[in-house]
Amino acid sequence: MSLSVTINGEGRELPSGSTVASVVASLDNVPDGRGVAVALEGEVVPRTRWPSTELHDGASVEIVVAVQGG
C-alpha cells in the first residue's frame, strides 16, 4: 500500500508508514538532515519527532534546506 503526498508542491507516492525522517533521508541534497526544516500541514516538526511522525495519505510536506554561499 502507498501514500499520495505533496512534497514542496510536487505529488509523490510513498510507502505506507513513511515518516518525516525517511523522506528527509531520501533527499540527495541533504547531508545527514543538517540545515533542514520540515513542516507538515503548515506546522513545523521538531527534528526530535521526525522518526516518529508518520505521514498520512494526502499530507502536505514542505522541506526547506539552508544553503551556504554568496
Banded model confidence at residue 31, pLDDT cuts 50, 70, 90: low
Which pLDDT score is estimated for 17? Answer: 96
14 pLDDT exceeds 90? yes
32 pLDDT exceeds 70? no
In terms of pTM, does the model score above 0.75? yes
| 28 Cβ neighbours under 8 A, 6+ residues apart | none
User: Quick check: helix, strand or coil at residue 36?
Assistant: strand
8 A C-beta contact, residue 4 and residue 57: yes
Domain boundaries, the chain: 2-65
Which pLDDT score is estimated for 33? Answer: 62
CATH (residue range 2-65): 3.10.20.30
